[in-house]
Amino acid sequence: MEKELKEIVVNEIEAVENLLEALEKQHSCLVKSDAITIENCTSEIDKCNKNIAAWEMKRRELTQGRAMSEIINMINDNELYENYRKIKRLLEEVKVQKDTNELLIKQGLGFTNRVINILNPSRTPKTYNSYGKVSK
């Protein structure tokens, strides 16, 4: 079990690194506003996510759903512990990159919506509500 678990963890590290690369590529496309390449990045991210999920399922089957920290303490292997820490660190980097990309996407959508509203304003007459605000 120990050898198989080490292999799975190493493969998970590789899969998470691939996801991080895909997210960084998506980030550069978002900064450049390259809409065509962003679509390709999205499909690549989906493939990476499926790969990570497959390795995670194999690991859970092997460990029978127990927590990795518990298993690492039980096995007491330094290499496995270091790989586990590396995965945790990589996952934090992935989370930060994902949040950054989401923020850039929301910012771009907000800008696009403002431009659309400027170019095509609402034609309905504006009225004031009981608080003195213009209703839409």
Q: Residue ranges per domain, the chain?
A: 2-135
pTM above 0.95, yes or no: no
- The candidate with the shortest Cα–Cα distance to 20, out of 104, 101, 105, 90, is 90
> Has residue 2 got a pLDDT over 90?
no
Side-chain-side CA neighbours of 101 within 13 Å: the count stands at 21
pLDDT given at position 106 = 94
29 exposed, middle or buried (CB, 10 Å; 0-12, 13-18, 19+)?
buried
Q: How far apart are CA 79 and CA 90, in angstroms?
A: 16
pLDDT at 136: 60
* The CATH number of domain 2-135 is 1.20.58.300: yes
pLDDT of residue 69: 83
**Least confident segment among 9-13, 29-33, 87-91, 132-136:** 132-136
What is the mean predicted confidence (pLDDT) over 16-29? 95
Query: pLDDT (tens digit, 9 = 90+) per residue, 54-75?
Result: 999 999 998 888 888 888 888 8
